[in-house]
Amino acid sequence: MPVATYCLVAVDCPDPAALAGFYAALIGGEIKHDNENWIELHAPGGHRIAFQRVPGHQPPQWPRADTNSQQLHLDLTVTDMAEAEAQALALGAMPLDLDDDNGRRGFRVYADPAGHPFCFCRA
């Protein structure tokens, strides 16, 4: 029997509303405002991501190294890598590692507007 049940992932950021809006446009869902320092995205499938304000937030560095971990990242499955990339970049994502070895590697890495890495993975 498990000790706990998954509830949500909380992401530190400088602007919770902006980052929640980015992910809502990227993956869908409904934004729930608790207050200006904590905003939740109720994503399709019942998953929740919370965005919490952290003054002085420092985004992780890419590529990661022993001295600068990526802290967390989300893997998102896409059916059309080129279309997903174009839409993510239009929403404010930043490319970090787009060399997917002509599709053999199966994923590309981006940063959200607060600097957190996320991957688009081929379905």
pLDDT for res 66: 67
Domain ranges of the chain: 1-57, 58-123
What residues of the chain score a pLDDT lower than 50? Answer: none
pLDDT value of residue 69? 63
- Beta-strand ranges (E) seen in the chain are 9-13, 30-35, 38-42, 48-53, 74-78, 94-97, 107-111, 117-122
Q: Would you say the CATH fold of 58-123 matches that of 1-57?
A: yes
Question: pLDDT tens digits for 65-95?
Answer: 666 666 678 899 999 999 999 999 999 999 9
- pTM for this prediction: 0.85
Domain 58-123 indexed as CATH 3.10.180.10: yes
Tell me the two tokens of residue 15. 């602007």
Determine the topology of domain 1-57 in CATH: 2,3-Dihydroxybiphenyl 1,2-Dioxygenase; domain 1 (3.10.180)
